[in-house]
Amino acid sequence: RDVSPKPTEKAGTITRDVWFTERDENIALSLKHSGSQLYKKDSPYQRVEVYETLAYGNMLTLDGMVMCTQKDEYVYHEMITHVPMFSNPTAKRALVIGGGDGGTVRELLRYEQLEEVTLVEIDELVIEACKLHLPETAVAFDNPRLNLLVEDGIKYIKDCADEQYDLIIIDSADPVGPGEGLFTASFYQEVYRCLTKDGVMITQSESPRFNSGVFVEIYDTYKQIFGSEKVHCYLAAIPTYPTGTWSFSYSSKGEAHPLRYDREAAARFSQTHGLKYYNEDIHMAAFALPNFVRELLNSK
Ligand code: SAM
């Protein structure tokens, strides 16, 4: 990452020109920030940092990769949550693995019908950093319906009894570092076992343009476990993730289907809660896939 300050002279004043850059082999995303890093600690798992960016507010990064920013986190968190909740409206118990920024549980806890929401995050520093610097995302950590566990989600799911959860959301980072094991077939097998008979698994499934290799592999794995008719891909536009096109997967163990949902209820919910991205039309539109994504999904 290139975070070195580059002072530039403008009309007689010195403006600090400081950029955070997330680099991959061939592309990079840069965001200008204030220069002072708000948070920087190394946990046993990763480097946890928060920058104050000028365009997107405070931004959480893990090992130099953007996880969420104050100004666009709602896209990811609303889409990973409301799509499954509206097509599985009788869900009572939900589990989130990863997601220590708190955004996914914030959205889940809007549903009174959920009796319990369990969040299993491996790294307490992620929770600490977000409580301090992304308070709107970390707003639900004190909710009495939240069961917050700081432990390894892979172990948690291995030890979990059969058919415990109506909804399991894998809110992971990329398949490197501590999150690597959250992308393996054996992990998804365990998730399948822990779902109730009509349960749904949602994962963030990377960018089909940027990470097409991983994208193809993970969908192939989901199809082998859930059956190809039961696995669906949907997309959302997230400006601070590589390429801006991001995907989520919806896999159902039973009869739940992502496009069987109550449009009127979704519209009411979106308005009542002041959601910024999800609504009854976005729910359906997110499943309309460009041809290159269809081809990737059919390529294996
Ligand atoms: N929405 C974002 C994205 O896709 O970039 C961010 C997700 S980030 C909050 C994912 C979280 O998963 C991190 O906080 C990380 O510490 C956590 N994590 C990684 N491996 C884990 C594991 N084995 N068990 C539980 N949580 C894990």
Pick the residue whose CA is nearest to atom 14 on ligand 1.
100
Q: Which atom of ligand 1 is nearest to the CA of 153?
A: 24
> Is 171 assigned a catalytic role?
yes
Q: Which atom of ligand 1 is nearest to the CA of 241?
A: 5
Residue 4 has a pLDDT of 47
Q: Measured in angstroms, how far is the CA atom of residue 73 from the centroid of ligand 1?
A: 14
Q: Which two tokens stand for residue 196?
A: 């109730």
Does the ipTM exceed 0.95?
yes
Handedness of CA 29, 35, 38, 42 (dihedral sign): positive
Residue 13 has a pLDDT of 45
Q: Is 174 annotated as a binding residue?
A: yes
Residue 16 has a pLDDT of 66
- Distance separating alpha carbons of residues 77 and 29, to the nearest angstrom: 21
Residue 173 has a pLDDT of 78
- Distance separating alpha carbons of residues 168 and 271, to the nearest angstrom: 25
Q: Is 72 annotated as a binding residue?
A: no
Pick the residue whose CA is nearest to atom 18 on ligand 1.
98
123 lines ligand 1 (CB under 6 A): yes
- Distance separating alpha carbons of residues 283 and 265, to the nearest angstrom: 12
Pick the residue whose CA is nearest to atom 9 on ligand 1.
99
- In the set 24, 171, 198, 220, the catalytic residue is 171
Q: Measured in angstroms, how far is the CA atom of residue 293 from the centroid of ligand 1?
A: 25
Residue 117 has a pLDDT of 98
Output 284-292 pairs: Cβ under 8 A, ≥24 positions apart: 284/259, 286/79, 286/83, 286/234, 286/235, 286/236, 286/248, 287/232, 287/233, 287/234, 287/258, 287/259, 289/233, 289/235, 292/208, 292/209
Interval 116-166: pLDDT, tens: 999 999 999 999 999 999 999 999 999 999 999 999 999 999 999 999 999
Residue 2 has a pLDDT of 46
Residue 14 has a pLDDT of 44
Average confidence (pLDDT) per 10 residues, the chain, 300 residues: 46 66 90 93 97 97 96 98 96 98 98 97 98 98 97 97 98 76 89 98 94 93 96 97 95 97 98 98 98 95
134 lines ligand 1 (CB under 6 A): no
Pick the residue whose CA is nearest to atom 19 on ligand 1.
179
Residue 7 has a pLDDT of 46
Interval 194-215: pLDDT, tens: 999 999 999 999 999 988 999 9
Mean pLDDT of the chain: 93
252 lines ligand 1 (CB under 6 A): no
What 8-state DSSP symbol labels residue 262? -
Cβ contacts of 143 within 8 Å, gap of 6 or more: 105, 109, 117
Residue 178 has a pLDDT of 66
Q: Is 198 annotated as a binding residue?
A: no
